[in-house]
Structure 1
């Protein structure tokens, strides 16, 4: 007879809380337990895994390779557990949710998904904060946001729940024509933008001259610059507008490198309304065929 290993949700919740809150004592405070009790739960979880999931390096805590893998499963198992609990506890969902979105998503697919959710739950108020991904993640880390969508890079994957790939596309006005021999006018966000970097890298690799003809931090201004023929830009399929066309290799434009985008949140900090919103976003991503696996990177924590 097969021996089943059951991962208790209380152990997984303690594990995710330590990771998301950055310390054993903070996890204990959030869960109403002492630091030794949280440590015991982590040891019990490691017994089930059959290997350490967190190791101490100097004064810092680091996830082991097994811990990185477990974190992905744990987030998903807790999300489904809390979704089921929320379904059978049909109390009115209300409150304020603070959401961070990068500039390119502020008027696109995910804003529609989020506002759709609030229309179904009129007791929820939204505070949407738009900005650069690094700033958004800093605000999430400081508990100024409940959840965030941001670009994923190699260094900042803490709090990552889901990620998916976006392939930027070259966008130009329908009637615009460009002579690659004289240089490409670009409409771009300021330096530091992942889309701007990919345009420049792509053109430099193809030895195509370029110049920045328009720069601005807002997506609306960038879209207007493209529609009015001021320059070409890297957009997503969700931010293409009527009056634009896609440029590709037949136009002499090289492909742009992909961008990984992620959904970030601190599970122990989320209210029932926040958990339901996360489930709503994940469901819509699955329906759209854009959801994927989290990028697993080492995360350093402080033991407190």
Structure 2
């Protein structure tokens, strides 16, 4: 008979808490355990894994390759476990949920998914905060947000639960024509936006002249600028509107580089309502075919 390794949820919760909160002592405070008890649980988990999962050098925590993989599974196991527990315990889904969404990503689809969840749970008060991805993640680290969607840059992606790839598309008014003598007019977010950077990189790489014809921080502003013929912009398939058309390589426009978007949260800080929201968002992303497998985790986490 085949034997199975049983990863106990309390050990996985300790592991995720240490990573998300950045220290053994903080994890102990959150879980009501002493630091020696937290250390013992990590050792027990490493015995089950058969290898170290965390190394500590000074005040810096390092995840081993086994720890990276375990963290991916642990987040998935805990969010499903906690949703099941809240369901069978008939937990009252109520309270305030603070969600951060980035200006530099077309979030109409996600706004609809999130408001759908709150309509189903009217005792939840939703606070949506929009800003640049870096600012959104800073607010999550400061416990000013419960859940965040933001661009993922590089390998270091603290609190990342799930990520997916978006390929921006060139959008223009249906009757838009290019005047090569004046350069490509761009409708873009302000500097620092990943979409703006990808438009400029693509055009520079193709040695095509361009100019900024419209600048605004809201997606609706970009959409209006495109429809009114002020310029072309990089949008997603969710934000293409009637009156727009896609510009492709056949039209002389180079392909835009992919953008990786992530769903972030601190599991130890999240309420039952927050866990259910995360599961709802992931479910809708899976249905839409944009949510990939749990991502490869970062190998180095710098904590203060």
Tell me by how many angstroms 1:14 deviates: 0.2
1:190 aligns with 2:190: yes
**How much does 1:91 deviate?**
2.8
Partner of 1:66: 66
Q: How does 1:219-238 map to 2 (within 5 A)?
A: 219-238=219-238
Q: How does 1:49-88 map to 2 (within 5 A)?
A: 49-88=49-88
Contiguous gaps of at least 5 residues in structure 2: none
- 1:52/1:64 contact within 8 Å kept: yes
Is 1:203 aligned to 2:211, yes or no? no
User: Contact 2:69 / 2:296 at 8 angstroms: preserved in 1?
Assistant: no
Over residues 63-107 of structure 1, what are the superposed CA-to-partner deviations in whole Å (9 max), with x where a residue is unaligned?
A: 111111110010001011112112212232100000000125575
Structure-1 separation of matches of 2:87 and 2:117: 15
8 Å CA contact 2:104–2:194 kept in 1: the answer is no
The answer to whether the 8 Å contact 2:155/2:297 transfers is: no
Q: Deviations over 1:191-233 (max 9, x none)?
A: 1100001001111111111111111111121111111111100
Matches within 5 A, 1:1-304: 1-105=1-105, 108-154=108-154, 156-180=156-180, 182-292=182-292, 293-302=294-303
Query: What is the rounded CA distance, in whole Å, between the counterparts of 1:60 and 1:302 in structure 2?
Result: 6
Contact preservation (8 Å) 2:167, 2:258: yes
Contact 1:163/1:295 (CA < 8 Å) preserved in 2?
no
- TM-score under structure 2 length normalisation: 0.96
Separation (CA, whole Å) in 2 of partners of 1:125 and 1:39: 37
Q: What number of residue pairs does the alignment pair up? A: 303
Q: After TM superposition, which residue ranges in structure 1, 4 or more long, deviate above 6 angstroms?
A: none
Question: Hey, what's the Cα distance between the residues in 2 that align with 1:181 and 1:51?
Answer: 63
Distance 1:194 1:107, change over 3 A: closer
Task: Describe the shift of the 1:302–1:220 C-alpha distance in structure 2 as closer, same or farther (beyond 3 A).
Answer: closer
> Equivalents in 1 of 2:58, 2:36: separation in Å?
20
* Deviation readout 1:128-181 (Å, 9 max, x if unpaired): 000100000000000000010000011540000000000100001111111345
> Quick check: 1:19–1:301 contact (8 Å CA) kept in 2?
no
* Separation of aligned partners in 1, 2:104 and 2:246: 17
Which range is displaced more, 136-145 or 209-218?
A: 209-218
Cα 1:105–1:111, aligned 2, differ >3 Å: closer, same or farther?
Answer: farther
User: What TM-score, normalized by structure 1, do the two folds share?
Assistant: 0.96
Distance 2:155 2:144 in 1: 21
After superposition, give the CA deviation of every residue in 1:110-131 in whole Å (9 maximum; x if it has no partner): 0000000000000000000001
Quick one: structure 1 residues 88 and 149, their matched pair in 2 at CA, closer, same or farther if it must change by over 3 Å?
Answer: same
